A = this chain, B = another copy of it.
Amino acid sequence: MNTTQLNSVITKGELLDHWQGHRRLTRRLIEAFPEKEFFNYSIGGMRTAAEMMMELIAITGPGIVEIATGKTNQLVESFEHGNKKQVFLDKWDEQTEIVNRNWDKITEERFHEKIKSFGEYEGTVHSTIFYFIDNEIHHRGQCYVYLRGLGIEPPFFPQR
């Protein structure tokens, strides 16, 4: 066990693994949806799974690049997808690499730095990253109910 581990409840590397583990689970959730229902099923007037996943994609890549570079990004929650899940899965995989690449650029010392995410949301680097992760878990949990409502078994939650 090194010094960083001794002083940290979770190290930077472990936090990346934690996030990417959640991202792998969310990817399996996208795969589990029938293509049609991914774009048109919803409950109680909520957004569709596609719209919620669009939000996550709008946040994750641009959000982490913003933290790494310090340059403000726009929150743009839509893109051309032609009602194809594959467009989402491709963007998902692209962002997995973007997260990994930019993670290396964020030093441990910066995690307590105050930032304004997307020029608007005040927090620290760590509170912002935890917000990204928690927001993903939150919306994925909602999409689990959509899958159950459709009679489909969602991916196993503890598996990352």
Contacts and interface: CB of A to CB of B under 8 A. Distances in A.
Interface of A: 1, 3-12, 14-15, 18, 22, 43-46, 108-109, 111-112, 126-127, 130-131, 134-135, 137-142, 144-151, 157-158
Contact of A139 (B135, B141, B146, B158): B141
Given A137-B134, A148-B44, A8 B9 contact: yes
B22 A134 contact: yes
Contacts of A7: 3-4, 7-8, 108
Contacts of A134: 22, 137
B44 A150 contact: yes
User: Binding site of A, secondary structure by majority: helix, strand, loop or mixed?
Assistant: helix
A128 to B, nearest CB: 12
Contact of A144 (B127, B138, B148): B138
Contacts of A109: 6
Given A10-B15, A138-B138, A138-B144, 7 more contacts: A5-B112, A8-B8, A8-B9, A10-B130, A137-B137, A141-B141, A142-B144
B145 A44 contact: yes
Nearest to A151: B44
Contact of A148 (B5, B45, B157): B45
